[in-house]
Structure 1
Amino acid sequence: MPRAGIQAAQPALCFIPPDYTRWLYRLCRGLLPLLLRYRGLVRFEASGTDRLARLFAEAQSGRSRLLIAFRHPSTTDPLVMAQLLWREVPRAARRDGLRLKPPVHSQFLYDRGIPLWAGEAAGWMLSKLGGIPIQRGKLDRLALKTARHLFADGPFPLAIAPEGATNNHGELLSPLEPGLAQMAFWCCEDLAAAGRQERVLIVPIGLQYLSISHDWGPIDRLLGRMEALLGGLPDAVVSAPAAPADSPQALEHRYERLIALSERLLSLLETFYQRSDGAAPGPAVEDPASTDFLERLARLRERALAEAEAHFQLSARGTVSERCRRIEQAGWACIYRKDLEELSPVERSLADWSAREADIRMGHMRLVEHFSTVSGSYVAEKPSIDRYGEVLMILWRAITWIRGCGEEPPAALGPWRVRMAVGEPLDVGVRCEGYRLDRRGAVERLTADLRERLEAAIG
């Protein structure tokens, strides 16, 4: 498995307060076209931007508060959201004769873990753009309090990805977390307590990345690279047929290669978790040939999570995402500590040992995260270049992570066109009476309605 990235205990994670700075916004706005081209994004198709421009005008006039709920299929989404708000919405406003006060911007929630792998400079930049860091998997009271205050009283709308993390699928929506709906109801309460009459609106934003090229070559080359890394695949599967890349024969063989590659990776991981030394309590791996692929994948996820949960003495309750977040927080508690200055030299050495072990055990959770969105039928339902690319990138990231190679670049699958769709907003105020009578039920219903709007935006 990957080498431990943490070699010693670290000081406790501090909250990075949002500190929007106009000059950095201007700099990032000027660099945005270069950043987009660097990520292979060359064409942007936006629908509903006139609606979003009107909503911004309404918010700027003090008649509403906006909560932007955007899909999160990729780590490139922040750049695409910047394109939407900084360029597409002002362009739509000018087209419709609306006068928006610059900047057209939003504050946003982001995972506190981003500066840990992207570096302190990333945390500084996110703060200066108005970002609010939140620790997932725990009740981060300071982050929630800050976000709640800025949603009701801040200068900009608030943007949140309700899926909670990237799911790497352009046409598949992950379960939505209830926090966004709860934040909207809190804003209604805060406005009512202050005697204010603004509407509270949730604006769904669909994002999709679609390949411009119709060339299957990059897909086939990426398949070949992963087949070489995994080994053990039959020659009949690996060898390409002498037929055009888009012929029925080639399409069938390509799918066979994808299935064989996935089965091979799954078998290697099953073998890894069958080791006898130091195995944590968990479900045994049965004969793979007698079990459905998705059942095997679910068992593997359970086995990996059990390994981490046993180390941190956590119970196996909740969804896979909830369990991953609890493991992450337990690991962070061992790594990022408030008491380092109070420890004796021997205690500090033991704390370093504990931090290294926590980082290694968290690796089992990271492995589960890589496969958390694999459905098994996504490509079979629609064997397009885009869906092949999405699934292959999930497998590629998992393989390079297991090898400890970080973000080793795969074969380029772009360039991409981006489809941005602004959905019909949800008025939260009309639901407040229901919220007062049944808070949990109101949050669940609002979350379900938001899911329908987001699915419509990518449909």
Structure 2
Amino acid sequence: MSDVIYQAQPPLEFIPPALNPLFLRFVHLFLPSWMRWKTAIADVEADKVEILVDLYRQFQDGKIRFMLAFRHPKVDDPFCLGYLLSQLVPKVARYQGTILESPIHAHFIYDRGIPLWAGSHVGWIASNLGGTPIQRGKADWTGLRSARELFVNGKFPMAAAPEGATNGLSEFISPLEPGIAQLSFWCAEDLQKAQRSEQVLIVPVGIKYSYVEAPWEAIATLLSELEADSGLPVQGNNPSFESLYPRLLNVAEHLMSLMEKFYTRFYHQKLPDIKIVEGQDRNEALAARLQAMLNIILQVPEQYFDLHPIGNLTDRCRRVEQAGWNYIFREEFKDVKKLSAVEKGLGDRIAEEANLRMWHMRLVESFVAVTGKYIQEKPTAERFAETTLLLWDMVTRIKGSNPFKRPQLGKQKARITIGEPISVSERYPVYKATRQGARQSVTELTKDLQQAMEKM
């Protein structure tokens, strides 16, 4: 995490997209080698790539504009999408005899906060690849105008994750945010105003990860680490689901108890009365306690920033994040030389306090998609590993270490599925008819996109 967020700063500057064709060519050339070297991804496979080939042909012929709405379970997703577009789409096009202009690429929308924790160089890379940033927790009109302009006039199609953030789970989709649907209707509106005939589409893209070999031994080792860090006796390293699952539940229940005591004692939060019925399934009891705990954790920064707990956990996290940015990135710090040493010091204290309060929100952010039944419904090594890694994220944050340096439990392969395009243009007449029709159209399109992604 960058030290910049411990000090008051000028407002976050917009990073304009500045596509660099030479840099894009370099990235496409070295992406396969880089993925093998730097990630756990050993292979990327894709289904229904011919749909994308046809869409790019129509896009290059000036017949359509489209948005790739992709699943976002983990931080490796952009690399997989880059591989899909730069390697697999051209390969299938050649096989079909379809002529496409090179390069095959997509402009994309990314969170403006990423360069803060990943480094400013990431902002440079994103800009030179034609990406445009957005601040998630507010009406970022500069970011929205840039995304809207690229959607209508960009050299390439658009790509964005409608979930808004990673959730760590390959087989569970978080509730989609309405921004993708709204941008798509704006694109249809702008095309009509310009008297252009292109049709607007949204293309659902599924991404699912699986291990080349089930990493039970690595999971057992990681569980031993979590047991030691949590103060539990380290159990034997028998690498089987039957022996590991009770250990995972023990770690989760123990961490839950520690966090409940921590927040009730030191932050004066009150836990709701959760009645545990004798003989109740441990997963159900754990899920109920988790939801209650996430709520009281989030109340800590909400109370500090004077925010009302409105909406689901994801909505609340976004508002806390933006409130924190507002305390750290401040208009009066545009010219630090005009500030006295005391004013600068007070600003730094507020920034440091805001960052500490946002830490609580980050704990919640990691668990917004956890239901307690994810492994129970489908006891695979993949689901077990994903849940264990989420617990590792939590423990690592509590220890004050870097949660972005996740351990790799084994080599993985990614499977990408291209869904059937959803026509936005067909829905546009209802959208433009009335304000109520516009709101309803955005809601229905978001719902249909969610269903389409869940089917994949």
Corresponding letter in the other structure for 2:50: D
Q: 1:283 aligns to what? A: 270
- Cα distance in 1, alignment partners of residues 361 and 343 from structure 2: 27
Output one character per residue of 1:246-286: Cα deviation in whole Å (capped at 9) or x when no partner.
xxxx433221111111111111111110224xx36x53365
Matched-pair contact (CA < 8 Å) for 2:218–2:409: yes
Q: 1:300 aligns to what? A: 293
Q: 1:396 aligns to what? A: 392
* Aligned-pair CA distance for 1:31: 1.8
Q: 1:111 aligns to what? A: 111
Three-state SS of the structure 2 residue aligned to 1:453 is: helix
Three-state SS of the structure 2 residue aligned to 1:331 is: helix
Matched-pair contact (CA < 8 Å) for 1:222–1:410: no
* Aligned-pair CA distance for 1:323: 0.9
* Matching of residue 252 in structure 1 with residue 252 in structure 2: no
Q: 2:341 aligns to what? A: 345
* Aligned-pair CA distance for 1:120: 0.9
What is the number of residues matched between the two proteins? 443
**Identical-residue share of aligned pairs (%):** 42
Matched-pair contact (CA < 8 Å) for 1:4–1:356: no
- Cα distance in 2, alignment partners of residues 48 and 69 from structure 1: 15
- Cα distance in 2, alignment partners of residues 252 and 208 from structure 1: 25
* Aligned-pair CA distance for 1:34: 2.1
Three-state SS of the structure 2 residue aligned to 1:275 is: helix
* Matching of residue 311 in structure 1 with residue 311 in structure 2: no
Q: 1:31 aligns to what? A: 30
- Cα distance in 1, alignment partners of residues 306 and 2 from structure 2: 23
Corresponding letter in the other structure for 1:266: M
* Aligned-pair CA distance for 1:143: 0.5
Corresponding letter in the other structure for 1:426: I
- Cα distance in 2, alignment partners of residues 257 and 178 from structure 1: 39
Matched-pair contact (CA < 8 Å) for 1:132–1:147: yes
Matched-pair contact (CA < 8 Å) for 2:167–2:367: no
- Cα distance in 2, alignment partners of residues 445 and 185 from structure 1: 12
Q: 1:355 aligns to what? A: 351
* Matching of residue 132 in structure 1 with residue 125 in structure 2: no
Matched-pair contact (CA < 8 Å) for 2:67–2:202: yes
Output one character per residue of 1:5-62: Cα deviation in whole Å (capped at 9) or x when no partner.
8432122210000000011111111221122112021122111111101100100110
Which 5+ residue runs of structure 1 have no aligned equivalent?
none
CA RMSD of aligned residues (A): 1.9
- Cα distance in 2, alignment partners of residues 14 and 5 from structure 1: 14
Corresponding letter in the other structure for 1:239: G
Output one character per residue of 1:133-183: Cα deviation in whole Å (capped at 9) or x when no partner.
100110000010111111011111010100000011111111001110111
* Matching of residue 239 in structure 1 with residue 244 in structure 2: no
- Cα distance in 1, alignment partners of residues 417 and 192 from structure 2: 31
Structure 1 residues 6 and 435 mapped into 2: Cα distance closer, same or farther (>3 Å)?
closer
Q: How does 1:158-169 map to 2 (within 5 A)?
A: 158-169=158-169
Q: 342-351 or 111-120, which moves further after superposition?
A: 342-351
Q: 1:12 aligns to what? A: 11
Matched-pair contact (CA < 8 Å) for 1:5–1:359: no
Q: How does 1:61-80 map to 2 (within 5 A)?
A: 61-80=61-80
* Matching of residue 372 in structure 1 with residue 359 in structure 2: no
Corresponding letter in the other structure for 1:20: L
- Cα distance in 2, alignment partners of residues 306 and 416 from structure 1: 37
- Cα distance in 2, alignment partners of residues 84 and 188 from structure 1: 27
Task: Choose which of 322, 329, 332 in structure 2 pairs with 1:329.
Answer: 322
Structure 1 residues 360 and 15 mapped into 2: Cα distance closer, same or farther (>3 Å)?
same
* Aligned-pair CA distance for 1:328: 0.8
Corresponding letter in the other structure for 2:294: R
Output one character per residue of 1:88-140: Cα deviation in whole Å (capped at 9) or x when no partner.
11111111111111110000000000100111111111100011110011000
Q: 1:214 aligns to what? A: 214
- Calculate the TM-score normalised by the size of structure 1: 0.93
Output one character per residue of 1:200-239: Cα deviation in whole Å (capped at 9) or x when no partner.
0111110011001034211111111111111135x7xx23
* Matching of residue 405 in structure 1 with residue 401 in structure 2: yes
Matched-pair contact (CA < 8 Å) for 1:226–1:396: yes
- Cα distance in 1, alignment partners of residues 174 and 392 from structure 2: 20
Corresponding letter in the other structure for 2:449: L
Matched-pair contact (CA < 8 Å) for 2:68–2:157: yes
* Matching of residue 445 in structure 1 with residue 435 in structure 2: no
Matched-pair contact (CA < 8 Å) for 1:400–1:406: yes
Q: 2:93 aligns to what? A: 93
Output one character per residue of 1:389-434: Cα deviation in whole Å (capped at 9) or x when no partner.
1111111111111111103755531201110111100011111122
Q: 2:280 aligns to what? A: none
- Cα distance in 1, alignment partners of residues 68 and 389 from structure 2: 27
- Cα distance in 2, alignment partners of residues 411 and 147 from structure 1: 34
Q: 154-163 or 443-452, which moves further after superposition?
A: 443-452
- Cα distance in 2, alignment partners of residues 364 and 104 from structure 1: 41
Corresponding letter in the other structure for 1:183: L
Corresponding letter in the other structure for 1:272: F
Q: 1:418 aligns to what? A: 414
- Cα distance in 2, alignment partners of residues 20 and 371 from structure 1: 35
Corresponding letter in the other structure for 2:312: T
Structure 1 residues 3 and 398 mapped into 2: Cα distance closer, same or farther (>3 Å)?
farther
